[in-house]
């Protein structure tokens, strides 16, 4: 029987998808296998449509609905939901560009899940920023750009047909202030994705380098630039935004649901559970306040709160699960490793500093 399309966050079909993803989550953590089945489920349930406008065959959910959807999915399987965010980041960059023919060409297939796109932009925001020579360089030439170097972190690079990638424009072999965003087809000559390194968590996302060896990209694949600060133009995967905090909140929900289940049999867990649930509610309120455009705190403070609670809730779940939780295959151990991901993923300097101060037990 075909899966029902999820048309709103209140749709009971979302619970059905949640259940299917949760059942498969421990298995991919052990095998590190790309979650093809989970991503196909997302296509069947119409999840890719949430993020794309009706004009391109999507459902165009508003931000609040998307956050609710992400919360449900990330509490079931963080790896699959993380991959979704990278795919969505690529879709948003394409959708917000002025390149109409590229939108027409790519967005309908992406809405239906017929193709996979991802992003390689961290080297313009949070990775390798201390190096004098940019890791991915672009040279303008007749009819396009020649890209040379690598993008250090590309989720599902070997699985993608398209990668939205950023590069620094060079002139006379020197970096300029200008950058560009292009869509790179992964079957172009010179493009390769080596076997990714094993990660501490979300390893099945198969995140690793995308190498580009003098790859010619025609002008028709240009999304933005060359311009200064190309990442601040349009919308897409941004660093330290509420999306990362949303996924951390999903992880908190999974860990605290487990703790609540244990607390029904063990009264000594009730007090710490109640305290963590209170913070969970505060985090939820802060998240939706940001979504409604009436923030109680900056997005950096929100992220720090989400990181802190993800670390503490997952460790509380592990402590309650005791030695049993420390065996590979138990979700509590997986949640602890996944919580560490939020310390490094898309983490701008102010959040990094705040995390370090909290760990050191000092005020900023
Ligand atoms: C699992 C995972 C998935 C990701 N997926 C994506 C994705 O799909 N797309 C994407 O664009 N990004 C992605 N990212 C990138 C992410 O958002 C960050 O950019 C990344 O975690 C930054 O880490 P880095 O080691 O590259 O940082 P860097 O700043 O490059 O640090 C590298 C090393 O350099 C040293 N160093 C750092 N700063 C300095 C300094 N000032 N002086 C001297 N030495 C220094 C440190 O020893 C450090 O270990 C992903 C990251 C992870 C971990």
The Å distance, Cα 55 to ligand 1 centre, comes to 36
Residue 239 has pLDDT above 70, yes or no: no
> Is residue 115 in contact with ligand 1, taking CB distance under 6 Å?
no
Length of the chain: 364
Q: How far is the CA of 153 from the centre of ligand 1 (A)?
A: 8
Nearest CA to ligand 1 atom 26: 127
Distance 164 CA to ligand 1 centre (A): 18
Q: Exposure string (b/e) for 1-39, b if CB count within 10 Å is 16 or more?
A: eebeebeebebeebeebeebbeebbbebbeeeebbeebb
For residue 299, what pLDDT is reported?
83
Q: Could you identify the atom of ligand 1 that is nearest to the CA of residue 121?
A: 11
Scanning 55-141, the segments in alpha helix (DSSP H) are: 63-76, 78-95, 100-112
* pLDDT value for 235: 55
pLDDT at 258 over 90: yes
Q: Which atom of ligand 1 is nearest to the CA of 152?
A: 26
**Does the C-beta of 86 come closer than 6 Å to ligand 1?**
yes
Mean pLDDT of 132-153: 96
Which among 32, 131, 153 is the best mutation to test ligand 1's pocket, defined by most ligand atoms within 8 Å of the CB? 153
Work out the pLDDT band at 241, boundaries 50, 70, 90. confident
Q: Closest Cα to atom 32, ligand 1: which residue?
A: 128
Find out whether the beta carbon of 126 lies less than 6 Å from any atom of ligand 1: yes
- Choice among 138-142, 195-199, 354-358 with the minimum mean pLDDT: 354-358
Q: Tell me the CA–centroid distance for residue 127 and ligand 1, in Å.
A: 4
For 349, the token pair is 């300097």
Task: Give nearest CA residue, ligand 1 atom 53.
Answer: 345
- Calculate mean pLDDT across residues 251-264: 98
Strands (E) across 156-221 are located at: 162-171, 174-185, 191-192, 207-218
CA distance 233 to 236: 9
Span of 133-137, 241-245, 261-265, 267-271 with lowest mean pLDDT = 241-245
Q: What is the average pLDDT score of the chain?
A: 94
Q: Is the CB of 121 under 6 A from ligand 1?
A: yes
- 264 alpha carbon to ligand 1 midpoint, in Å? 41
pLDDT digits (tens, 9 = 90+) for 159-212: 999 999 999 999 999 999 999 999 999 999 999 999 999 999 999 999 999 999
Going from the Cα of 126 to the center of ligand 1, the distance in angstroms, rounded, reads 6
**Which segments of the chain does DSSP mark as H helices, in order?**
12-31, 36-44, 47-50, 63-76, 78-95, 100-112, 242-263, 270-291, 299-325, 331-344, 349-360
Q: pLDDT per residue over 42-90, tens digit each? A: 999 999 999 999 999 999 999 999 999 999 999 999 999 999 999 999 9
Task: Output the CA 131–ligand 1 centroid distance in Å.
Answer: 12
Task: Report the alpha-carbon distance of residue 14 to residue 55 in Å, rounded.
Answer: 24
Is the torsion defined by CA of 287, 309, 348, 34 positive or negative? negative
For ligand 1, is residue 4 a contact (CB within 6 Å)? no
Pocket flag, ligand 1, residue 120 (CB < 6 Å): yes
* pLDDT the model gives residue 87: 97
pLDDT for the residue numbered 300: 85
- Work out the number of other CB atoms within 10 angstroms of the CB of residue 288: 15
Of 130, 198, 352, best ligand 1 pocket probe by most atoms within 8 Å of the beta carbon: 130
The band of 237, judged by pLDDT with boundaries at 50, 70 and 90, is very low
pLDDT at 26 over 60: yes
Q: Ligand 1 centre from 341 Cα, in Å?
A: 12
Q: What percent of the chain has pLDDT over 90?
A: 85
199 lines ligand 1 (CB under 6 A): yes
Among 236-245, 253-262, 267-276, 311-320, the minimum mean pLDDT is found in 236-245
Cβ of 155 less than 6 Å from ligand 1 = yes
């Amino acid at each position: 029987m075909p899966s029902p399309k999820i048309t709103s966050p209140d749709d009971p079909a979302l619970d059905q998808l949640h259940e299917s993803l949760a059942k498969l989550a421990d298995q991919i953590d052990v095998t590190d296998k790309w979650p093809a089945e989970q991503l196909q489920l997302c296509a069947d349930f119409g999840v890719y449509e949430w993020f794309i406008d009706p004009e391109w065959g999507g459902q165009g959910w508003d931000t609040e609905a998307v956050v609710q959807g992400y919360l449900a999915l990330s509490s079931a399987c963080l790896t699959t939901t993380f991959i979704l965010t990278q795919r969505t980041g690529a879709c948003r960059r394409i959708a917000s560009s002025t390149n109409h023919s590229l939108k027409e060409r790519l967005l309908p297939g992406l809405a239906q899940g017929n193709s996979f796109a991802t992003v390689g932009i961290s080297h313009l925001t949070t990775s390798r920023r201390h190096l004098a020579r940019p890791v991915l360089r672009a040279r303008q030439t007749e009819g396009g750009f020649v890209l040379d170097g690598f993008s250090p972190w590309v989720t599902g690079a070997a699985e993608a047909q398209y990668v939205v990638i950023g590069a620094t424009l060079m002139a006379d072999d020197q970096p300029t202030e200008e950058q560009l965003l292009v869509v790179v087809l992964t079957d172009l000559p010179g493009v390769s994705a080596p076997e990714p390194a094993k990660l501490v968590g979300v390893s099945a996302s198969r995140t690793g380098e995308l190498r580009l060896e003098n790859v010619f990209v025609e002008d028709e694949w240009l999304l933005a630039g060359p311009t200064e600060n190309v990442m601040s133009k349009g919308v897409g995967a941004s660093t330290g935004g509420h999306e990362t905090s949303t996924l951390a909140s999903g992880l908190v929900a999974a860990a605290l649901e487990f703790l609540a289940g244990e607390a029904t049999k063990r009264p000594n867990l009730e007090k710490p559970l109640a305290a963590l649930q209170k913070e969970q509610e505060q985090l939820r309120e802060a998240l939706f306040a940001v979504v409604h455009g009436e923030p109680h705190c900056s997005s950096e403070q929100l992220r720090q709160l989400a990181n802190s609670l993800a670390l503490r809730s997952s460790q509380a779940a592990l402590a309650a699960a005791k030695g049993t939780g420390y065996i590979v295959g138990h979700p509590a151990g997986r949640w602890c490793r996944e919580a560490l991901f939020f310390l490094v993923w898309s983490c701008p300097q102010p959040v990094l500093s705040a995390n370090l101060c909290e760990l050191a037990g000092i005020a900023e």
